[in-house]
Structure 1
Amino acid sequence: MMLTVLRLVLVSFIAACALPTSAAVVLLYHHVSDKTPKSTSISPAAFEAQMDYLQANHFTVVPLLELTEKLRKGEPLPDKTVAITFDDSYVSVYGSAFPRLQKRGWPFTFFVNTDAVGTGKVFVNWDQLREMAKAGVTIANHSSSHTHLPRREKNETLAQWRARIRAEINQAQQKIIDEIGSAPKVMAYPFGEYDHEVQRIAKQLGYIAFGQQSGVLYSEGDLQSVPRFPFGGSFSDLDDFILKVNSKAMPLKAVEFFDDQKNKTNSLIVRAGEKPWLVLTPNDPALLKKINCFATGQGAIPTQIMNNQLWAQANTPLTAGRTRYNCTAYSGEKGRFYWYTQQWLATDKQGNWTYRD
């Protein structure tokens, strides 16, 4: 009798360990070079070290389209699964990353802003992209001009802005089809910037869309704001990579935004000087006391627990530009943390965009 019970426990344990999870990590790079701007670059040596870690620790590297197809169908995603992506049409992807990943037999996706292709030594040309595509690389949409999609131009009406954003996406898609032969219905927002209206346009056009906010791709997430972990600049350290690639999706019932603790808002665009509240409702209230949140350039930020929700707000008012609230919690598995990131876009105090990247 005891032996039978032990066998049943063992079988149950093995089955539980084998069950797939509904999350995977998507990695984002720009330049892979020692000679390009440090803020958006990772050295070839550091990139190689990260890929070595994935291989030594038995991560499965799959095409991004495999993950997005599972998302569309609501299918589970196996644990320790990774997809690799690059943004911005940089030639170092062809010259440095491509041969390294090709040697390993690993797929990746290259999101290209099509107007830049073939325009100078910094960018790839279409012959190089065709060579990569023939080798199995997915060439995908990063808009045509790499503009800030949520930002309306001076004197531009809402209708004109919507038409321009649709054209940015459609023109890039058609150019890739014309040059490569096909283009998947996935896109990456330039600068990782989006708001709810940009998301609606992407959804209407049939795209799964990726940002640059840190986090884990999971089956219950928003298909028009899929997170990726960016690496480069100060985020090139191997220990940081190990922490992030082993992270898990924060199990949340709901994510809400408030101007203050009484007025709910749906806007991801705020004005400089404001301090928006991020409100998280976890599936398990026991997680509330474990969550810590941080804001760009501010470090740890205060949180409050009210009505089984976590309320997080920046320490100081936001300045014009991009700000992210990163919230993490220990998952109970050694070295693995739940991770959720929310991005805010701040105008000046009058509601005007005052900066360019």
Structure 2
Amino acid sequence: MMKKGLWSIVILLFAALAQTAKAKDNAVILLYHHVSEQTPAVTSVSPDVFRQHLEYLAANYQVLPLQEVVQAISQNKPLPDKAVVITFDDGYDNIFDNAHPLLKEFKFPYTVFINPPLIGNASYQLSWQQVQLMSKEGATFANHGNTHEHLLAKYAGENEKQWLARVMQNINQAEQTLAQQVGYSLKYFAYPYGEFNLKLKQALRQQGYVGFAQISGAVASYSDFGALPRYPAAGIYSNINSLKTKLDSLAMPVSNTTPAEPQLTLPIPAFQFKFDVLADDLRMSQVNCFVADKVVPLSFAKNTITLPFKAQQRAGRQRINCTAPSITEPNRYYWFSQPWFVPTEEGQWLD
């Protein structure tokens, strides 16, 4: 018969293994745009601050290629604990000038989502020669569409079917050009402005794409592969102290979001937003939700969180972020973000 002391050690070992296994099905994807001091502050991080980010990642995390993480979570395979991915949107030339040398120095892989027709044709964009060189030195390139426009906007007289066909043609043409230029097709698509709706997300998945959003949260096997979250890491989000908490975050296991449609139309009537949470490792009583850093009152019954929203008249992009501490890892937080995209009453989309 096993002695009491030895049995206790065995129990602790199994608990530690279970905790490690849970944490391994998880990664954080960071999103950058500019690495420069001469570009809009809201989407920029200075080279010095970017180096600070990379130094912290090198000391505390394992930076992996985006493809490795997507493949692992799509196949429910384990990842190293505290896995991180670095991504950029828009293909700005300062990525080559300021970010690439640092990433090469740290030997970090990264992915840039680009608009192929702009490459080599817009003065502020990368050239195809730079893309080719970066590809040889740790970078991969993925699809951001043929044009950087609001994909949810319809042309005059365009119906829903025509709109979706046009947008998917835009995306597929960009993917074809990318494949011709870099020699591979990842079929990864980052939504311009982070904007998507259910029909676009479903169409992407049906054609074999993985979608990437601009919402907060980690990724795991149970994430939405039509809109995988990425943490913005520039502008007001570039502070390393606040970024540390996000880098340690866990993907909240959420299902049955209601309403599920992120595209709303003005005027927005009062509504209740609900979602279910698998609460095995998070404290339901400590779930907190925020809109623009303000706490939103909530209620929960069993595993369902309900949040009331007042009638609204504001157009633009909005999102709610919800967090809850892990039980097995008290210093880490589960994180979930739900976006809403609202055009003006005239149907215009705000930058």
TM-score relative to the length of structure 1: 0.90
For residue 72 of structure 2, what is the aligned residue in structure 1? 70
For residue 344 of structure 1, what is the aligned residue in structure 2? 340
Confirm or deny: 8 A CA contact 1:76 1:219 kept in the other structure.
no
Distance of 1:176 and 1:73 partners within structure 2 = 25
For residue 79 of structure 1, report the CA deviation from its aligned partner: 2.1
- 1:74-118 C-alpha deviation (Å, 9 max, x unpaired): 223332000110000111111111110111111000100112211
Distance of 2:330 and 2:161 partners within structure 1 = 51
One of 262, 269, 282 as aligned partner of 2:263: 269
Distance of 2:122 and 2:261 partners within structure 1 = 38
Distance of 1:187 and 1:141 partners within structure 2 = 5
For residue 280 of structure 1, what is the aligned residue in structure 2? 275
1:126-137 correspondence runs (5 A) = 126-137=128-139
Distance of 2:212 and 2:142 partners within structure 1 = 11
For residue 261 of structure 1, what is the aligned residue in structure 2? none
Confirm or deny: 8 A CA contact 1:291 1:327 kept in the other structure.
yes
One of 315, 323, 326 as aligned partner of 1:328: 323
Distance of 1:354 and 1:150 partners within structure 2 = 10
Seen in structure 2, the aligned counterparts of structure 1 residues 208 and 136 have a Cα distance that, compared at 3 Å, is same
| 2:196 match: secondary structure | coil
Confirm or deny: 8 A CA contact 1:215 1:339 kept in the other structure.
yes
Confirm or deny: 8 A CA contact 1:213 1:341 kept in the other structure.
yes
Q: Which amino acid aligns with 1:290?
A: Q
| 1:167 match: secondary structure | helix
For residue 251 of structure 1, what is the aligned residue in structure 2? 253
For residue 141 of structure 1, what is the aligned residue in structure 2? 143
Confirm or deny: 8 A CA contact 1:302 1:314 kept in the other structure.
no
| 2:283 match: secondary structure | helix
Distance of 2:206 and 2:324 partners within structure 1 = 34
Question: How well do the aligned residues superpose, as a CA RMSD in angstroms?
Answer: 2.0
**2:314 is the alignment partner of 1:311:** no
Q: Which amino acid aligns with 1:320?
A: A
TM-score relative to the length of structure 2: 0.92
- 1:221-270 C-alpha deviation (Å, 9 max, x unpaired): 1110100001111111111110111111113343222xxxxxxxx42211
For residue 355 of structure 1, report the CA deviation from its aligned partner: 3.5
For residue 157 of structure 1, report the CA deviation from its aligned partner: 1.9
For residue 120 of structure 1, what is the aligned residue in structure 2? 122
Q: Which amino acid aligns with 1:279?
A: K
Distance of 2:16 and 2:320 partners within structure 1 = 37
Alignment length, in residue pairs? Answer: 345
For residue 356 of structure 1, report the CA deviation from its aligned partner: 3.6
| 1:272 match: secondary structure | coil
Moved more, 72-81 or 7-16: 7-16
**2:293 is the alignment partner of 1:290:** no
Distance of 1:159 and 1:192 partners within structure 2 = 21
Distance of 1:249 and 1:322 partners within structure 2 = 22
Confirm or deny: 8 A CA contact 2:34 2:95 kept in the other structure.
yes
For residue 3 of structure 1, report the CA deviation from its aligned partner: 4.8
Seen in structure 2, the aligned counterparts of structure 1 residues 71 and 10 have a Cα distance that, compared at 3 Å, is closer
Distance of 1:11 and 1:160 partners within structure 2 = 58
Q: Which amino acid aligns with 1:245?
A: L
Distance of 1:271 and 1:37 partners within structure 2 = 29
For residue 79 of structure 1, what is the aligned residue in structure 2? 81
For residue 37 of structure 1, report the CA deviation from its aligned partner: 0.6
Distance of 2:272 and 2:80 partners within structure 1 = 33
- 1:178-223 C-alpha deviation (Å, 9 max, x unpaired): 2112221211111111110111121122111100011111101111
1:13-24 correspondence runs (5 A) = 13-19=15-21, 21-24=24-27
For structure 1, the residue ranges without an aligned partner over 5 or more in a row are 258-265
| 1:234 match: secondary structure | helix
| 1:218 match: secondary structure | coil
Confirm or deny: 8 A CA contact 1:23 1:248 kept in the other structure.
yes
1:14-163 correspondence runs (5 A) = 14-19=16-21, 21-57=24-60, 59-163=61-165
Confirm or deny: 8 A CA contact 1:301 1:315 kept in the other structure.
no
For residue 15 of structure 1, report the CA deviation from its aligned partner: 2.8
- 1:24-63 C-alpha deviation (Å, 9 max, x unpaired): 1000000011110111101111111111111122x11110
Distance of 1:314 and 1:52 partners within structure 2 = 41
**2:347 is the alignment partner of 1:353:** yes
For residue 224 of structure 2, what is the aligned residue in structure 1? 222
Q: Which amino acid aligns with 1:250?
A: M
Q: Which amino acid aligns with 1:353?
A: G
Confirm or deny: 8 A CA contact 2:90 2:144 kept in the other structure.
yes
For residue 321 of structure 1, report the CA deviation from its aligned partner: 0.9
Moved more, 305-314 or 120-129: 305-314
